[in-house]
Amino acid sequence: MKKYFLSTILITAATLIMAQVKVEPPVLIAPANAATKQMPDLILDWKAVIGALNYELQLSEDEAFTTIVLDSITDLTAVKSSMLKFCQEYYWRVRALYPGNIHSDWSTVWMFTIFSNFDLVKPNDNAENVPPDTELKWKDKVGPLSITGVSYFEVQIDSVDTFDSPEFHEFFVGGNVFKKDMSNLLFGTKYYWRARAGHDKSVSEWSDVRSFTTVGKVTLQRPNNNSVDNDLNVNLRWGEITGILKYEYQIDVDGSFSAPMVELTENIIEPASNLMYGTQYYWRVRARHSRDTTNWSDVWNFTTFNFPTLTSPADNDTGIILRPQLKWDQIKGSIKYEINLSLDEATLSDHKYYKDASDAELPHYNVAPDLEPLTKYFWRVRAFSEIDTSDFSSVWSFTTYTPVGINEYFASSNVNLYPNPVQDAINIEITCNKFTNVDLVIYDLLGQAMLKDNLNLNSGHNQVQIDARTLLNGIYMVNIMYGDQVITKKLVVSK
């Protein structure tokens, strides 16, 4: 009984002593007084007070603390709020609590304001030619602070700024998502959009309203408008529009498209088909998705090649070898060429030679057997497709050269084979004095021809690669022949 009485006396004495000491109120730290654009889940922070057992925090919508929204007792020096009202001013204060129901005075009252709205990012305001699957995006910060404490974002989009037309759409995304991907917006339409944040107890003000206009038509790129000398399978190219299902393009010989060729594609580059030689075509493109179709693009036109253009030998050239290579410009989409070669221009149509065409190979024709020396020849070319025949090219002529021996074209010392021994491919270097055409034959030691090729050599340095993968290990002789004259080199195959 004496011990209990003594303890009571000591506690009472300690309490009386503390009551006589002035207890300092806590000092507030954050958010700073009069801070604006704060988050609805901000942290209220203050400095610790020595000897304090707990702290009492009060948060109110008015400075007199008649409308208290939070009255919290904690042993920490910070309290995290939640779901504070947007665009609302709040006042807060803290006091320290001690044993024996003793407390400090209230701290100074500070205030802060929760943010009211946020800024939109893209599309840029008044942007043009926006695709129908554009991304609507807004800032994830208000001032320097990241947006937190938000349960959702509400997005509205419409074709009128009153947001009440049949095209009105409303979307909700999570509070940690700062964009909304659109789809199937109408083409060539001006849209208005806005966004706001919310949680269970409050909704922010709307952002400023932005507008953008969706793309209204496809833009043509290639071939250039009014271009000429185009291939039969010329690539048609136009600008990409994302968020669509198909492009529709039309080609017609009539600019009013009375009987067009119509094609659908997902690509932005498409080769034309079934075109005629020497014909002017008109073309246009439009895009579509499940809800709408763009207007037609501008109408462009192009003209296809009328006939091949000869390139070599040059017109009226002289000193041409007896086995020349005739060359002309390629018309892609052709399947073969007809070559006329004659001693008399009037009889060209009586001397026809054909060469299959390939878009991967520049067209040429190797003349064989030898032409007459010191003789003038005339030649021309025309092209064929599956459905049409071009006009003939211009008629060119050339005069052959007096035949010479192989050593007048190049010496044996000017022929080099490497690597030797070889595994896969033989590189042949030949330095020529003049343009010439020679035969190459590789023989085994039994005299059997294992590989043959025809080489067209230009004046100067030539490098030719021969595939040797079909040759077995062993020793071979490489013969380079012009007429009955031969240069022979030894070759070793070792794999």
| Residue 8 is assigned to a structural domain of this protein | no
Report the alpha-carbon angle 480-483-487, nearest 5. 25
Q: Can you point out the beta strands (E) in 226-320?
A: 227-230, 235-238, 246-252, 261-265, 269-271, 280-288, 300-304, 310-312, 317-320
Answer whether 0.85 is exceeded by the pTM.
Answer: no
358, 439: one domain: no
pLDDT tens, position by position, 266-287 = 999 999 999 999 999 999 999 9
Examine residue 251 and state whether it is found in any structural domain, yes or no: yes
Q: Write the pLDDT tens digit of every residue in 423-452.
A: 999 999 888 777 778 888 999 888 889 999
Q: What is the pLDDT of residue 256?
A: 95
Q: How do 474-482 and 485-493 pair as beta strands?
A: antiparallel
Residue ranges of the chain with pLDDT lower than 70?
Answer: 1-22, 403-413, 483-484
Q: What pLDDT is attached to residue 412?
A: 64
Based on the structure, what is the number of domains in the chain?
5
Do strands 179-181 and 135-138 pair parallel, antiparallel, or not at all (unpaired)? antiparallel
The rounded distance, in Å, linking the Cα atoms of 93 and 64 is: 11
- Tell me: do 110 and 96 sit in the same domain: yes
pLDDT at residue 369, as a whole number: 87
Q: Both 413 and 461 in a single domain?
A: yes
Torsion of CA 276, 277, 283, 289, to 10 degrees: 50
* Residue where a domain terminates, one of 199, 214, 229: 214
Bridge partners (DSSP) listed for residue 378: 342, 397
pLDDT at 14: 39
Classify residue 231: in a domain, yes or no. no
Q: What CATH number is attached to the domain comprising 183?
A: 2.60.40.10
- Residues 289, 315 within the same domain: no
Last residue of a domain, one of 400, 422, 445: 400
Residue 178 lies in a domain: yes
Q: Which residue shows structure tokens 């209204």?
A: 216
Instruction: Give the distance, in angstroms, between the CA of residue 94 and the centroid of all CA atoms in the same chain.
Output: 58
The two structure tokens encoding residue 198: 């919310």
| Model pLDDT, residue 405 | 58
Domain that holds residue 252: 239-304
Query: Is 110 in the same domain as 134?
Result: no
Please tell me whether residues 104 and 128 are part of one structural domain: no
Last residue of a domain, one of 369, 400, 431: 400
